[in-house]
Structure 1
Amino acid sequence: MKFEHLVEINDLENPMIEVITREQLWRGLVLRAESPKMFVSYIDQCAITDRTEVSMTREIQYGNLLVKDHVSIVHNDHVHYQVPAQNDIKASSLRMSIEEPEANRLFVRFCYDDGHTAEEDETNKMYDDYRRAAYHEADVDTVRMIRELAEGGLLNALMN
């Protein structure tokens, strides 16, 4: 299943919504990679096992399931999660890219690829429809959390 969608960050037509900066949004996306338990309630534990300025390798525990992944970071542009094939898990990826078609009009494009073939996608169509809805909801929750952190000034403090 390949799936992508946009989530709007700043609604410039609504003066009641605080405008967050690209840097705040970026820091929130990186924070989601560094501290995923803040964003995903069913993660039991996450350990960063290797880190550079542009990537990290993580081990994430979901109950009895341990998933290892690699996160690549391009400053102020995107965060790319890659899960290599392991045990019963196929290789998959998620890319969260910041888009700014005009000043302060920010979006995040979420692009998923579960590594399935077209035939597998057809077989899993009903299940994939459910997954798309769940991914969309989780992504909206991610943006909501980033917005709360930014509005509370927490992403500003982390940027210094």
Structure 2
Amino acid sequence: MHFEHLIEINDLADPMVPNLTRDEVWFGLLCRAEDPRPFLPGLEACEILSREETALTRKLDFGQVVIHDTVRWEPLQWISFESHANEEHPAGLLTITIEHPEPETHAIFLRFAYRTGLSETVGEDAKYAEFIRSAYHQSDVDTVRVIRMIAESTQTD
């Protein structure tokens, strides 16, 4: 299954919602790599197994299920999360790209692109794929909410 969508970060029509900068959004995405617990409900622990300049490997403990993944990134551009298949969990890839179409404005979008081995075209698989797309979208909305909370908590007056 391939699924992607955009989420607008700054609501330019609503001055009551503080605008985030590209740096603030990027910092939030790095927080998701370093400690994904606020972003992933049910995650009990995250252990960083290895670290490089633009990558790390992690062990994610969800209690009954443990997932190993690799996180890679291009600073201020994109970050990807590639989970490795095991008996309880299929492999998958999520890439989040920061899109800033007009640098002179505050318009910033996050493009979430998913790739999984799930079929989208056959009977029950198609219904399940629709459920998964909906869950991914809600998780991504929650990711933006957490990024906003992180940005608010790190702002200095």
Tell me the amino acid that sits aligned with residue 30 of structure 2.
V
How many angstroms does 1:73 deviate by? Answer: 1.2
Matched, 1:106 2:112: no
The aligned counterpart of 2:151 is 150
- 1:97-154 CA-to-partner distances (Å, cap 9, x unmatched) read 10011122000000001124xxx32231101111111111110011011112212325
Under a length normalisation based on structure 2, what TM-score does the superposition of the two structures give?
0.91
Contact 1:18–1:151 under 8 Å retained in 2 = no
Amino acid at match of 1:47: E
Match of 2:53 in 1: 53
Deviation >3 Å, runs of 4+ = none
CA deviation after TM superposition for structure 1 residue 46, in Å? 0.7
Identity %: 38
Deviation of residue 37 (structure 1)?
Answer: 0.5
- What are the equivalent positions in structure 2 for 1:64-143 lying under 5 Å apart? 64-103=64-103, 104-116=106-118, 120-123=119-122, 124-143=125-144
Flag structure 1 segments of 5+ consecutive residues without an equivalent.
none
- The superposition leaves residues 16-38 of structure 1 with CA deviations (integer Å, 9 ceiling, x where unpaired) of 11111100000101101111101
Distance 1:60 1:148 in 2: 23
CA RMSD of aligned residues (A): 1.4
User: Per-residue CA shift, 1:30-75, capped at 9, x if unaligned?
Assistant: 1011111011120011101001110000000112211100000110
Matches within 5 A, 1:6-45: 6-45=6-45
Structure 2 Cα separation of the partners of residues 129 and 94 of structure 1: 17
User: Aligned partners of 2:43 and 2:85: how far apart in 1?
Assistant: 19
Aligned length: 152
How far has the Cα of 1:91 moved from its partner?
2.1
